[in-house]
Amino acid sequence: MKQPILLAFAASIALTASSHAVADAQARPNAQRVPNYLATKLVYRTGWSIPGKWVYRSWVDRPDVLINGDANTALSLLFGEGTMTLSVPAAGKVAGTFDMGGGYVLDLTGTVKAAGTGQTAIHMAGLGRPSTPTAGWEYDYDGMTTERWPKSIGQVPAFTGSVFRAKPHDGNPAGFVASFIAVKKP
C-alpha cells in the first residue's frame, strides 16, 4: 500500500521540478520553452496544405494601442486585406495572386519549405501589375503555417508573419512592416 503512495509522491516532485524548470526557462529570453519530446506530442508533424484561397489581413504594429473593444480603434490598425489564391507549381515553389478588390491585385511568387516541426515556411514577393492601381508596388511576405493541434475543435488552417513594403508607392516610403494572418477558406 505504501509503494503506490511513494510512487505518486515521487511523480508529484518530478512534475513540480519540471514545472519550475519550464518557468525558469521562460524567464530566460533564449531558453527553449517546451522540450522537444513534449512538443512532438502536442502538435501534428504534418503542415497545412498551401494551395487554395486564403483570407489575408494585416495590421499596423502599434504596441502602444489597446483596442479595449473599440471597433474604430481596431479598424484604424488594419493595414490591408484581401484574398490570396495560392498554388504550388513545383516542389518548393509557390505562386498566386493577392486580390484586395477594386482592381488592386499583386502577382505572388516565392518559395515554400518544410520547417521540420510540421510547419511550412513561406516567402513571397508581391508585384503590382502595369496599368492597374498597383503598378510599381512591391511587397515581401514572410510567414509560417501555424501548428495543427491534435485536440483542437474546428481549427482553421492559417499562416502568420510579416509584410514588408519593398518599394515606395503613392507617397508611402519603402521599409514599412506590418504583421499578418491568413486563414484558409474551406
Class of domain 52-184: mainly beta
Measure the CA–CA gap between 107 and 144, rounded to whole angstroms. Answer: 20
- Please, what's the largest Cα pairwise distance for the chain? 83
The amino acid occupying position 80 is G
Tens of pLDDT along 95-112? 999 999 999 999 999 999
Residues 64-76 pLDDT 10s? 999 999 999 999 9
Q: What does the domain layout of the chain look like in residue ranges?
A: 2-33, 52-184
Model confidence pLDDT, tens digit, residues 76-94? 999 999 999 999 999 999 9
